[in-house]
Amino acid sequence: MRIFAIVLFILLSCSCSFGFMVSDDNFQKEIRVLKELDIDPKYINDEHFLLLKNVRMDMTKKEFINTITKEYKHAAIIKDVLKERNAPNFLLYLAIVESKLSNRATSGAKAAGIWQFIPSTAKLHNLNVDKYVDERRDPLQATHAAIDYLERLKDRFGKWYLAILAYNAGEGKLSKAIKLAGSDDIMVLLNPKKKYLSLESRDYLRKIIMMAYVANDSDFLISKDSSMLNSATYIGIKRVEIPGGTSLRDVAVSIGFSLENLSKYNTHLRYSFTPPNRETYYIYIPTIKKEEFVANYKEGSKSKIYNTKKGDTFEIIAKKLNIKASDIKEYNNVSKIKSNYKLAVPANAKTIYEYQVKKGDTLGMISRKFGVEVDEIIKANSKTNMKLAIGENLVIPH
């Protein structure tokens, strides 16, 4: 303990020497941050937090600025939703700690998106995750779901800092920690000697507090970097409904946009088309393109879906479907073929069906069922023999 106190004294002394001591204005802002999180203001002097703050504050500031500079669109979207829902601003910092606001973030625990929902939690909060979409990667939908979840945690545990800890550690682990500690006081729960919670969870909350400190720092607020948190820095997105099975390319053409750019607005779609198993589905377009969309977009025939097989090339698929290989590439904004990937093909391509092989099926039986020659089925699926596997998906050409 004596050594710890000496280290802390040296760090604080160094901070003072280099002008990093908290001004009275910033001190009051930090107290306000703690109160917003339902944390007793005396936590501002917690020795373990002060040590971490002095060691990591510069790194936290760099991470914060780099994140909002790179992902300013997502930062602005989240801020708008928080304002609409009358939810606290510090939830933005939770998202930064979770994923650095990257919609493509994925964890080893199968969490995905800005808010790092795992599949089971996503389902509980009405985020669809299936073979065509992953709405955990929809910044608007996922932010609403995260607010719903965090508000429920707040209702259960009574304080915002406890809701944040539960979001990271899980409700069960936090409940167990509170029971073992006999208290939900932050300084008790985060005690490094008792280890009621894992180091990851203890540091998780501290990182969010430090992010909030940076965002409210007087020097940051008057810097040009703070403008990146202003929603005026992005053009906004508009949700529109289109038929299921529609290629994004058709929408992109109607608004004078590239498929590549439109895909960036719709990272919740696993492919470059809307789910073909739904009557309609939503996509996002830039708000400034809404009038062009209304004026120019015409509903056409649904795109057909082709499931790639081992050995497929663009040329092989094009020959099967009597279309150009270049059309397939352009339609899907892809340059390489990978096995078991769904491609959208133009509506004027040969009609194709998918059939899942069942127990007892033979190629002869399937041939008679669909009225297609066996050799055509073999060719369409790049098979080298007559063997079938239960559950195998076959393309049935017509």
Residues 84-129 pLDDT 10s: 999 999 999 999 999 999 999 999 889 999 999 999 999 999 999 9
pLDDT of residue 305: 82
How far apart are alpha carbons 378 and 230 in whole angstroms? Answer: 58
pLDDT of residue 231: 57
Core vs surface per residue 352-369: b (16+ CB within 10 A) or e = beeeebeeebebeebbee
pLDDT of residue 370: 78
CA distances from 21 to 54, 190, 221 (A): 10, 24, 17
Select from 9, 18, 20 the least CA-distant residue to 213.
20
- According to DSSP, the residues that pair with 353 across neighbouring strands are 396
Please check whether residue 254 is in contact with residue 299, taking contact to mean a CB–CB distance below 8 angstroms: no
* Stretches in the chain below the pLDDT threshold 50: 1, 3-21
The pTM for the full model equals 0.80
Token pair of 34 as six digits = 């703690």
Domains and CATH numbers, the chain: 24-231 (1.10.530.10), 233-296 (no CATH), 304-397 (3.10.350.10)
Select from 330, 243, 319, 311 the least CA-distant residue to 281.
243
pLDDT of residue 319: 83
Specify the DSSP class assigned to residue 243: E
pLDDT of residue 85: 97
Token pair of 117 as six digits = 């929902």
Q: Which residues contact 384 (CB under 8 A, 6 or more apart)?
A: none
Sign of CA dihedral 134, 137, 138, 142: positive
Q: Is 181 exposed, middle or buried (0-12, 13-18, 19+ CB in 10 A)?
A: middle
